[in-house]
Structure 1
Amino acid sequence: MLIMTDRSIETSDSVNFYNYLCKKIGSEEVVKIRRLTFLIYDIAQSDTFISSGRKGEGLNLKGSDIDVMIVEKSMKVYESETDVVIEKKVAAFIMNTDDTQPCFTQLYLLTHHQNYTLKVSELLLNMLQKNQLGSVLSSEQYKLFKMSKFEASHNSKIHGPCVTDGDDNYDCAFCLKCDTWIFQAQPWVSRPRTAWPSPELISKIISCGVLFVPIGYKGSINENIEWRISFSVAEKILIFSFSHTQLLCYAMLKILLKEIVDKHEDLKGLLCSYFLKTLMFWISEETDPYAWRPDNLIPCFMACLKRLLYCVRYSILSHYFIPGNNLFFLRFNTHNKYKLTTILMNLYGEGINCFASTDTLQDQQYQSYEIKMSLNSDNNIYLQQLMPTFCFLRNVCYDNRVNRFWKLFYDFSHHSKTNLSSGLFALQLSASFMLVPEASQYPKISGNKCHYVRYKHDLSHLMIGLHSDTVSGLLMLASFFYVHKKYLSSLTVIAYTLKKCMAENIYLGLFNNSKLDPIKQHVMRLVKREKLHTILKSLTIYSFRLEHNSSIVPQELQQDVQRRGTIFHPLPYAHFLSFLCHYHRHDITSYQQSLQQLVYVEWIISDCRTFVSRPDSINSVIMCGIAHLTLGESYPARRAFECAARLDKYNETSAASRLFSFIGC
């Protein structure tokens, strides 16, 4: 009989727990795909767009929001005037750290330099403050200006250095950049370390420079004109270099923070994910990389938790790149430090069982010993974990424009080294072409030849866009034919679209809901017989979006998309478009049947209270109202608009204005 030693038991437990975490949090392959997905998203946006935060790092934990950084093109930061490179229409700012805490700086506008003249715009002038050294850029005024332009939500607000939407789902940090590695962080490059990060990694990080985000040192008399030096790009590179065991330890710390510590109202926000990331960097730098193995997961995590306890107890956590900045300086008072220390001590005493009280990992003690077998037999479980990421990518890909095509094509041809990356790039390229060029881009020239050229140009783009998913491209094409009064062509495309909307397809707009376990189980059955790329391209249905300046928006929906792009549920939209085509062809029987189908589908969607407040669901109700109004049926039209207006809490649709116009009539 084999008797296991304590070490072999610990090793076995670590491997089992590692396998369990791969299922709950994501395997190494899942993380790579998540990161690739967001990388493609960044490329599709611009070279100044950087996804960050947990999702950008490859994690999709409970409560994860979307964090992005957008680098200001019209402003650039330099350490000194001697470093300045003159660029047309770019305002140069010089760092001044004489009166700031470590990791913070003031930014002064360069006005006197050889061969340098800058016409200060009224907009920039409003962000500047004068003092004895010159014109300093106000971080507070910069944020306020960006918030006024932020379109993610009517209820946007300032959250630290970020502008966030009203539902706290999307954080956007507008920032400035210095292309070189600054003097304050120079000691990091050559300080003694075990083996991580490698010299190659350090060189890569240095080449990325640093960012500056608009927030000052709390309590400083100059807080409103100070900027924090950000190493987000460097930190993302370091996170990407983690072994999967390191990443899982990082995720476990996050889960303890969000699902245990933050449950205490007086401790909520006292610690943040950035502190945990900094902690992981220090431990990784001091540890032999070989220690981060699946069979050593539990000891590694307990060492991380022990270090966190130490840092809280002694109120010391040095910034990873600029250690002179103690992130825990004056962070705690006597009460919350004692309470937090007590909680962390209790968690440490429980060992890995401390996760029993978390929502994410509460079942670990019952499942961890069973995962090893099921994971090998069901190695495609990663799709269920990836669907939320693909939902996000699809929802935001419409921010892309066709003029981004060449950059996408370049990256596609140079960086797509695997079938998966090639497939994801191809999907994004196809989605780019779904956006018909803005109507304002066409020359204001009348005549049949101009009309013909425009028609062919739009049609060619839409045909490429057919390959982005099951139905969205088809519905765009049907809208195109409808706008050009080719009703039979539109109806032919719609009929084909409805045939493809089989029960076997997956509507990703609803995938994130916890009540949709049957759909998730269906996904798992599909992935056993289909490749990931095939599922995303041929078996998925998405909400799709019409842009306010697009040339394919039906006249009946112009009011709905006049402010900004509007999303629609594909099935109601197909029936609504079918109704319009039959109506203009004076086919009474057919348009009545289409209206019945539209009302039926709208009723199914609206009856499910979980989804009813989604903009695409509300627009389905509005389309019913428009259809009834088209037929002169005032009572059902008014009821539809009233229902939609009642559900539209944030006034994201045309419901309120349509109801007001209806009542006014």
Structure 2
Amino acid sequence: MSRNREYSLRFYEYLCQKIGSEEDVKARRITSTVCDIGNRSFKLIRSGSNGEGLYLKGSDLDIMVIYSNCTVYEYNSEIPVINKTIPLVMDTEDTQPCFTKLRIVRGHSLSYIAEVVLHTDHKGEVFSSKLFKETELDRLSTKYEFFYKIHGPCMADINNQLDLAICFKCDKWISHSEPWIKRSREKWPSADVISKIISCGVLFVPIGSKGSINEHIEWRLSFSVAEKFLIFSFNHAQLLCYALLKIFLREIVDKDKCLKGLLCSYFIKTVMFWILEESDPSIWRPDNIIPCFQACLHRLLYCVENDILLHYFIPENNLFYLRFNKINRNKLCKLLQISYQHGVQFLFSAETLNCYPNCPFEINQSLIGNARLVNEIHGTLSCGIYVGEENIYMLLRTLLHRSRSAMSAAIFTFFLSRAHQTVPHCSLIPRGSNIQSYLKLKNIISHLLVGLHSDAVTGWIMLASFFYEQKYYFTSLYIINHTLLKCTDEKIQLDPSFVKRSLNWNQINALNMVTNENLITSLKTLTMNILHFGERSLIIPTELQLEVQKDAYIIYPTPYAHFLGFLCCYHLSDYSSCNHFMHQLLQDFENILIIKIETDAFVLCHIPKCIAIAYQMLGETKKATFWLQVAWR
């Protein structure tokens, strides 16, 4: 083997450890897909790096929600006679390629669409993309405080960690992108991938062409689903080159204040698509990854120098049209030229890759086997997506018919267990008939018992909460004490923070100890989900019922277990044990503040609320008032 090929292979192995191996990426993608399947009353699609199976420093979570009450059609003639959704028709008159107006069809009911999002022009009424975003932001920010601003076509949170785009869908592949299907190409993408892409249609996101007089009423065509299929068809060398380009953009180009924002991830993705379509797939090998990356960098330099980057599906749209001025283009070209001349060594100034020069010959793998997969699933779940009870059968059907690997089956089983935990939240126990009540109780307990397999702790606490509400205080207390023994330092906390936390040494050692176990056993033994009580939950304690009247209730398992233990002891008049659990609850809050866990305020505030309720029950009103004030800070 030549020295260059050997160096490429070593660098590839390092990237597999640093960015993710094929197995790591597969685990992330399956988990992400299950999260999408497991959502409730709307179709949700993860896009961006998270949806692609890449966890890169600084990446946010991009989510697209398809607005199911409206359907887009290219022509009026395509609208069916019987239509359960409101039809919108594309109008590309006076719009740039990749943009359209969405026209309201006369004679169809608009009862549930606020008049405020409609705009009247010389041809009738159209949906205003600007007003639609503003209306949706008002609606979402009322219910979820973390939605804070509009960011392009999305609603974003205050920390820029979540972008949510609400979009419309056309179920057919539109004529504007028809030439892409028959375009001359090498071997990529395959006919099978093209067929899948065509079947998924096109999305429309609320943003107009910058500078257009109709910008406020235009919508951009989005091929996010198609792009996800294309990226899923990358081999691992191609995916790693794509990841390297994203790291180069985020950690080198964007570090220069004059260049920040000039390029974006979508441009990087488009460059990759063109290169792969035009190149021989056989060159994309682990032992050739450095020359491949150099080719990508050279192509990007060419595009910037010539102010041209054609949209992959609709080439009439030049993404670099009027993108640069002379000064910033020259500066960007100079940086790209220097990077190209230095090769991958220039990448080692990036934070993600700066350790490579110190360990090129011996790559440290702190996690091995299933331990790595558990860590990857932990990373995906840190994005705060919950599985709804309505989709248990969908998850089960997918598990039975589409899970072809042990990893896939384990991940689906893990999520199925989580889904079963949610059913009892909305299960009313009928009064009057003892037989009906008994059967319903039996059904609820069966769901909770299946839910025990989702992690080491949460299922048990849900079961304890149910028994508490049924006034089986001794049973609940027994389960609580059993569960608290499992709340140890090596458990991996799965929470709704959008930041993936680093593992501590105890967690790494514990994971490696179970590396020979099957994946579902590892997940069940070493993970600890956050507790999530649905809106109007029927198994949350009576003392917390007000908290779930309008929204879900989310809290860490250990403080909740201590609060539930306090409630059980209070009703059993065991005030000595009440004081013990109270002390533990106070300690929980103090520990969270000391170690400065990155968490959302709406999760953290529930702990002082529990403390306030406990003090109020003990008759210590002043302390209760103080802790309520802490909760609202």
TM bucket normalised to smaller: over 0.9
Instruction: Give aligned-pair identity as a percent.
Output: 45
Which amino acid in 2 is paired with 1:401? Answer: G
Deviation at 1:520, TM superposition (A): 4.5
Which amino acid in 2 is paired with 1:274? Answer: Y
**1:494 equivalent in structure 2:** 480
- Residue in structure 2 matching 1:591, options 578, 590, 601: 578
**2:14 equivalent in structure 1:** 20
Task: Find the aligned partners of 1:381 and 1:453 in 2 and give their Cα distance.
Answer: 40
Task: Find the aligned partners of 1:250 and 1:624 in 2 and give their Cα distance.
Answer: 49
Distance 1:464 1:82, change over 3 A: same
Task: Find the aligned partners of 2:280 and 2:602 in 1 and give their Cα distance.
Answer: 51
**Once the two structures are superposed, what CA deviation does each residue of 1:432-467 show, in whole Å capped at 9, x if it has no partner?**
11114555x759976766655553443332222222
**Once the two structures are superposed, what CA deviation does each residue of 1:267-311 show, in whole Å capped at 9, x if it has no partner?**
211110000000000000010001100000000000100111111
Task: Find the aligned partners of 2:586 and 2:148 in 1 and give their Cα distance.
Answer: 34
Secondary structure of 2:382 counterpart: helix
**1:42 equivalent in structure 2:** 36
**Consecutive unaligned residues in structure 2, runs of 5 or more:** none
Within 5 Å, which residues of 2 pair with 1:196-345? 196-345=188-337
Preserved contact between residue 367 and residue 511 of structure 2 (Cα < 8 Å): no
**1:144 equivalent in structure 2:** 134
Across the two proteins, how many residue pairs are aligned to each other? 629
Distance 1:376 1:224, change over 3 A: closer
Task: Find the aligned partners of 2:54 and 2:35 in 1 and give their Cα distance.
Answer: 16
Preserved contact between residue 370 and residue 518 of structure 2 (Cα < 8 Å): no
**1:135 equivalent in structure 2:** 125
**1:11 equivalent in structure 2:** 5
Secondary structure of 2:398 counterpart: helix
Preserved contact between residue 384 and residue 523 of structure 1 (Cα < 8 Å): no
Preserved contact between residue 482 and residue 490 of structure 1 (Cα < 8 Å): yes
Deviation at 1:622, TM superposition (A): 3.0
Q: TM-score w.r.t. structure 1 length?
A: 0.89
**1:654 equivalent in structure 2:** none
Task: Find the aligned partners of 2:54 and 2:162 in 1 and give their Cα distance.
Answer: 16
Deviation at 1:637, TM superposition (A): 3.3
**1:99 equivalent in structure 2:** 94
Deviation at 1:472, TM superposition (A): 0.6
- Residue in structure 1 matching 2:550, options 559, 563, 577: 563
**2:522 equivalent in structure 1:** 535
Preserved contact between residue 536 and residue 550 of structure 2 (Cα < 8 Å): no
Within 5 Å, which residues of 2 pair with 1:384-399? 386-392=376-382, 395-397=384-386
Secondary structure of 2:38 counterpart: helix
Secondary structure of 1:45 counterpart: coil
**1:468 equivalent in structure 2:** 454
Which amino acid in 2 is paired with 1:396? Answer: I
Task: Find the aligned partners of 1:587 and 1:368 in 2 and give their Cα distance.
Answer: 62
- Residue in structure 1 matching 2:392, options 392, 397, 405: 405
**Once the two structures are superposed, what CA deviation does each residue of 1:207-251 show, in whole Å capped at 9, x if it has no partner?**
111111111101100111111111111110000000111110110
Task: Find the aligned partners of 2:182 and 2:405 in 1 and give their Cα distance.
Answer: 36
Secondary structure of 2:345 counterpart: helix
Secondary structure of 2:134 counterpart: helix
Preserved contact between residue 205 and residue 222 of structure 2 (Cα < 8 Å): yes
Task: Find the aligned partners of 2:51 and 2:327 in 1 and give their Cα distance.
Answer: 35
**2:53 equivalent in structure 1:** 58
Task: Find the aligned partners of 1:573 and 1:175 in 2 and give their Cα distance.
Answer: 38
Deviation at 1:142, TM superposition (A): 1.7
1:171 aligns with 2:163: yes
RMSD of the TM alignment (CA)? 2.4
Distance 1:152 1:11, change over 3 A: farther
Which amino acid in 1 is paired with 2:186? Answer: T
Deviation at 1:576, TM superposition (A): 1.1
Within 5 Å, which residues of 2 pair with 1:651-662? none
Which amino acid in 2 is paired with 1:540? Answer: T
Secondary structure of 1:299 counterpart: helix
Distance 1:367 1:473, change over 3 A: same
Preserved contact between residue 374 and residue 519 of structure 2 (Cα < 8 Å): no
1:359 aligns with 2:346: no
Task: Find the aligned partners of 2:144 and 2:171 in 1 and give their Cα distance.
Answer: 29
Deviation at 1:515, TM superposition (A): 6.7
Task: Find the aligned partners of 1:600 and 1:49 in 2 and give their Cα distance.
Answer: 39
Task: Find the aligned partners of 1:141 and 1:519 in 2 and give their Cα distance.
Answer: 51
Distance 1:349 1:282, change over 3 A: same
Task: Find the aligned partners of 2:82 and 2:245 in 1 and give their Cα distance.
Answer: 44
**Once the two structures are superposed, what CA deviation does each residue of 1:609-658 show, in whole Å capped at 9, x if it has no partner?**
34576544443333223222221224443443344434xxxxxxxxxxxx
**1:651 equivalent in structure 2:** none
Q: TM-score w.r.t. structure 2 length?
A: 0.94
Deviation at 1:589, TM superposition (A): 2.0
Preserved contact between residue 245 and residue 297 of structure 1 (Cα < 8 Å): yes
My pick for the range that moved more, 213-222 or 634-643, is 634-643
Task: Find the aligned partners of 1:389 and 1:548 in 2 and give their Cα distance.
Answer: 26
Distance 1:222 1:390, change over 3 A: closer
- Residue in structure 1 matching 2:104, options 109, 122, 125: 109
Deviation at 1:514, TM superposition (A): 6.0
